[in-house]
Amino acid sequence: MTQITNHLPTAELQALDAAHHMHPFSTQAGFETRGARVITRAKGVFLTDSEGEEILDAMAGLWCVNIGYGRDELADVAARQMRELPYYNTFFQTTHVPAIALSAKLVEIAPDGFSHVFYGSSGSEANDTNIRLVRHYWATKGQPDKNIIISRKNAYHGSTMGGGSLGGMSGMHAQGGMPIPNIHHIGQPNWYAEGGDMTPAEFGLMRARELEQAIEQLGADRVAAFIAEPVQGAGGVIVAPDTYWPEIQRICDAHDILLIADEVICGFGRTGQWFGSQTLNIRPDIMTMAKGLSSGYAPIAGSMISAEVAQVVGQTEFNHGYTYHAHPVAAAVALENIRILEEEKIIQRVHDDIGPYLQGKWRALADHPLVGEAQIVGMMGSIALTPDKSRRAPFAAEAGTAGYITREISFANNLVMRHVGDRMIISPPLTITHAEVDLLIERATKTLDQALAKIKSEGLLVAG
């Protein structure tokens, strides 16, 4: 067999890809007629494909490459750690320096009250840990029936049985027997799509109180925890109305329900502070971390656990752990990533400079005739496409049709701007420059103009 390298013709790479690589969240058969774009390298905010095209990656990979591509420091640290100690575990009365140093650092940067970190290799694994952790917590306190976890429709918490069950994606639940028992979903705080004639403030309170109603219906003695993303990411960058989170916090406190903030996207500077919980002023007991923890350079995730929960769970053996828990190479890479975030004041820059700059330009896209609203927190933004912006109307066509058309045009314009249904989303590297933001907005605007023309010409500019 010929050696498979970057130098093979694109068509050959695509044919091999279609033949042997099963893609996530994709229709595999489709790759035979239309090959996947082959990404060969990346630097800063730009990807390069096998045809030499430069693509502005306004999604930072999958919301993870917070410090941008091509940082040699992380490669150097990984190589050094691989030579010194490529692997060891911390299961049987052993530990290692990357695990010690990263845990101490994470507790230092976390809000007050956190004391311990339990690791995984992905956000999904960390959320699976959280399910077992909160149930074990209440069982240890003598309440084994306090084991229901409340989550939200259209939430994303991963793709394993646990993570997918916590998530509220109906398309995922339709396959493979999810959700697992004792997971309960309430409505999401998506005022644009579901708020009707209510004000955002009224709607936010109404959706938060669904949590209280669910607790009352299920019984507070049955509910272990509520899990939510501070800002829903994969659900379409849905920013809750201001009234939502204070009410959620009040309800969790009043009913003795643990609050799990899934910070997989919001963490590590995405919202302009270390954690989205700080931006939204919430006090979680557990935080899920992944993605920006290593800027995607190595697979590592974790559950950040409050001192109170850690103390209770720590009394007995917690029969849970992954081979790659606190993997030394991944932990060393994460530490170096955090050093760069701190020393280069990247999060402060999101808060004070590049964040506000992007926000102003992104919000102005709401003036485009195809756009019903623009939302943005820190450096994660969305716009809702609509055939009739005067009344936030959805399209008559199947949800996602207009979004897909727009995404394809965007990709052809060398801008990675994703769609979730008929919302377009961005989450660029936090290191993006002002000039690159200008280019992002220029390509997004051109994309919206072209998408509007195409949607119109296909007779799809019709409200449902």
Query: What part of residues 168-207 is at the interface with ligand PXG (CB under 6 A)?
Result: none
The reply on whether position 259 binds ligand PXG by CB under 6 A is: no
Distance of CA 319 to the CA centre of its chain: 28
CB-neighbour burial class of residue 70 (10 A; exposed 0-12, middle 13-18, buried 19+): middle
Query: What part of residues 114-133 is at the interface with ligand PXG (CB under 6 A)?
Result: 122-124, 127
In this chain, which of 61, 158, 168, 267 binds ligand PXG, going by CB under 6 A?
Answer: 158
Residue 423 contacts residue 385 (beta carbons within 8 Å): yes
Please report which residue ranges of 60-187 form alpha helices under DSSP H.
60-63, 72-84, 97-109, 123-140, 161-166, 170-173
Indicate the residue among 134 and 461 with the shorter CB distance to ligand PXG.
Answer: 134
In this chain, which of 233, 241, 355, 378 binds ligand PXG, going by CB under 6 A?
Answer: 233
In this chain, which of 229, 336, 373, 422 binds ligand PXG, going by CB under 6 A?
Answer: 229
From residue 300 to residue 329, the character string flagging contacts with ligand PXG as x (rule: CB under 6 A) and all else as - is ------------------------------
**Cα gap 269→37, rounded to integer Å:** 29
In this chain, which of 114, 118, 137, 156 binds ligand PXG, going by CB under 6 A?
Answer: 156
**Cα gap 187→223, rounded to integer Å:** 17
Strands 114-120 and 301-306: antiparallel
Indicate the residue among 122 and 406 with the shorter CB distance to ligand PXG.
Answer: 122
Indicate the residue among 168 and 233 with the shorter CB distance to ligand PXG.
Answer: 233
The reply on whether position 262 binds ligand PXG by CB under 6 A is: yes
Taking the complex as a whole, the smallest distance from the CB of residue 229 to ligand PXG amounts, in Å, to: 5
Taking the complex as a whole, the smallest distance from the CB of residue 286 to ligand PXG amounts, in Å, to: 13
38, amino acid identity: V
Indicate the SS3 state at residue 266. coil
Query: What part of residues 62-101 is at the interface with ligand PXG (CB under 6 A)?
Result: 62
Indicate the residue among 206 and 234 with the shorter CB distance to ligand PXG.
Answer: 234
The reply on whether position 407 binds ligand PXG by CB under 6 A is: no
Taking the complex as a whole, the smallest distance from the CB of residue 143 to ligand PXG amounts, in Å, to: 27
- Burial string for 443-463 (b: 16+ CB within 10 Å, else e) reads bbeebbebbbebbeeeebbee
Residue 150 contacts residue 211 (beta carbons within 8 Å): yes
Which single residue brings its beta carbon nearest to ligand PXG?
Answer: 123
Taking the complex as a whole, the smallest distance from the CB of residue 292 to ligand PXG amounts, in Å, to: 11
Beta-carbon contacts of 334 under 8 Å, excluding residues fewer than 6 positions away, are 102, 293, 294, 298, 300
Q: What distances in angstroms separate CA 206 from CA 190, 195, 203, 219, 311, one per listed residue?
A: 11, 10, 5, 20, 35
Indicate the residue among 131 and 206 with the shorter CB distance to ligand PXG.
Answer: 131
**Cα gap 395→20, rounded to integer Å:** 37
User: Which chain residues interact with ligand PXG by CB under 6 A?
Assistant: 62, 122-124, 127, 156-158, 163, 229, 233-234, 262, 264-265, 288, 290
